[in-house]
Amino acid sequence: MPDDAPDIRRGLEGVYVAQSAICKVDGVEGRLYYRGYAIEELAANSSFEEVCYLLLYGKLPQRAELTQFNEALVKERELPEDIIYLIKALTGKERAIDVMRTTISALPAYDSETYDSSAEANLRKSIRLISKIASIIAATGRFSKGEGYTTPNPQLGHAANFLYMLNGTEPEAEDAKLLNKMLILHAEHSSNASTFSTMVAGSTLADLYAAVVAGISALKGPLHGGADEQALAMMRAIGSAENTGRYIDDALSGKQRIMGFGHRVYKTYDPRARIIKSDLEALQNSADAEVKNLTSIALAAEKIMVERLGKTRNIWPNVDFFSGPIYTALGIPPELFTPLFAASRMPGWCAHMLEYWRDNRLFRPMEQYTGAVGLKYVPMDQRE
């Protein structure tokens, strides 16, 4: 290939950047595996904590290993006092996702192992990050409602404790179970934009905190993790199931993207969306009128989009589409959707870093220069 005609793959579409044994995304068959286990099995049987272990250590834990891992996570739930003040100071002044990103950036100040790059220290930091990010989001949620910080409850599992810290009351077992499933579904997805960003930053041998902050920055955009909040905003704008068809037709004829649909890899129904669709259907009977209405809009939109773009253009619902009504049913406000996505994806980002650092190579792709060369410098007073 001559230098003046390089093979440019826009958006790195179809480009392989690494080998990995963490996750397989089969975009043709609509299948997803973490460390070889089908997402359907993990979502039905596992806990988020167990999936974190699986992703980080590469195998399902024995009972004693999981107990020890759970204890390590519980121990890391507390936030340094300064961090709680920082969250409080920023909440309301910037978006929750930015509060979270800034706060994660501040955590190294309280971690003596930040610059210890051994695999053991990075595992310990991964556990800290998985645990603390949930506490940070819950605290942001509390402060944004004008309420106080809730101290973590060591008796509760990860999902239940998050809801407890956010809402101040112990959740129903069913709610904790549903959130647990959502966390599992979002925990990992190979080299998507945020994981790749994490890996790019990490490949410079920056520390784990710096690497995941790059991941959070990439996740927040509406073409990636930010789509869940936008999808809910669209459902609210639609207003009722009856309006859905008209709204979508207007949007599509105006060349607008419908958030929560389409995927770079899945050219079929996203298996994660398929799993939560049944939970969404169950919400049709919710006693909460808003949840019931959002659910009916989401189901109507899904049906219309499958006809309009799924069957004809392979643009199917992705996992972000159904999250809104489910999180609303769990008492999670929309500004926390994308932060919660980051909390779910933290084990995936960390697992990728742990794996990539075992055989690190700096990411440094090329770009084709299309500007001029050899221009003569013109002094300021002679410029036209």
Interface with ligand ACO (CB under 6 A), residue from 31, 124, 264, 267: 264
β-partners of residue 23 are: 34
259 makes contact with ligand ACO (CB under 6 A):
yes
Q: Which is nearer to ligand ACO, 257 or 274 (CB)?
A: 257
The site string for ligand ACO over 209-248 (x = CB under 6 A, - otherwise) reads --------------xxx-x---------------------
Residue in 158, 186, 263, 352 annotated catalytic: 263
Task: Compute the distance between CA of residue 218 and CA of residue 211 in angstroms, rounded to an integer.
Answer: 11
DSSP-derived 3-state class of residue 259: coil
Among 107, 123, 134, 201, smallest CA distance to 342 is for 134
319 makes contact with ligand ACO (CB under 6 A):
yes
Least Å from the CB of residue 222 to ligand ACO: 6
Applying CB under 6 A, the span of 133-141, 253-261, 289-297, 355-363 interacting with ligand ACO comes to 253-261
Interface with ligand ACO (CB under 6 A), residue from 258, 283, 340, 346: 258
The site string for ligand ACO over 9-48 (x = CB under 6 A, - otherwise) reads --x-------------------------------------
Q: Catalytic annotation on 263?
A: yes
Interface with ligand ACO (CB under 6 A), residue from 24, 31, 177, 257: 257
- How many other CB atoms are there within 10 angstroms of residue 293's CB atom? 18
Q: Which is nearer to ligand ACO, 142 or 345 (CB)?
A: 345
Interface with ligand ACO (CB under 6 A), residue from 141, 202, 215, 262: 262
Q: Which is nearer to ligand ACO, 87 or 297 (CB)?
A: 297
Task: Compute the distance between CA of residue 272 and CA of residue 260 in angstroms, rounded to an integer.
Answer: 12
Q: Which is nearer to ligand ACO, 130 or 219 (CB)?
A: 219
Edge-to-edge, what's the strand order for the sheet holding 23-26?
Answer: 23-26, 31-34, 37-38
166 makes contact with ligand ACO (CB under 6 A):
no
Q: Catalytic annotation on 158?
A: no
Check: CB of residue 326 under 8 Å from CB of residue 283.
Answer: yes
263 makes contact with ligand ACO (CB under 6 A):
yes
Among 340, 284, 35, 168, smallest CA distance to 46 is for 35
The sign of the dihedral angle between the CA atoms of 328, 226, 194, 109 is negative
What lies within 8 Å, CB to CB, of 44 at 6+ separation is: none
- How many other CB atoms are there within 10 angstroms of residue 31's CB atom? 15
Least Å from the CB of residue 188 to ligand ACO: 11
Task: Compute the distance between CA of residue 383 and CA of residue 137 in angstroms, rounded to an integer.
Answer: 52
Token pair listed for 47: 């806990």
- How many other CB atoms are there within 10 angstroms of residue 257's CB atom? 14
Token pair listed for 7: 């093979």
Can you give the binding site for ligand ACO, defined by CB under 6 A? Answer: 11, 223-225, 227, 257-264, 315, 318-320
Active site positions, annotated: 263, 320
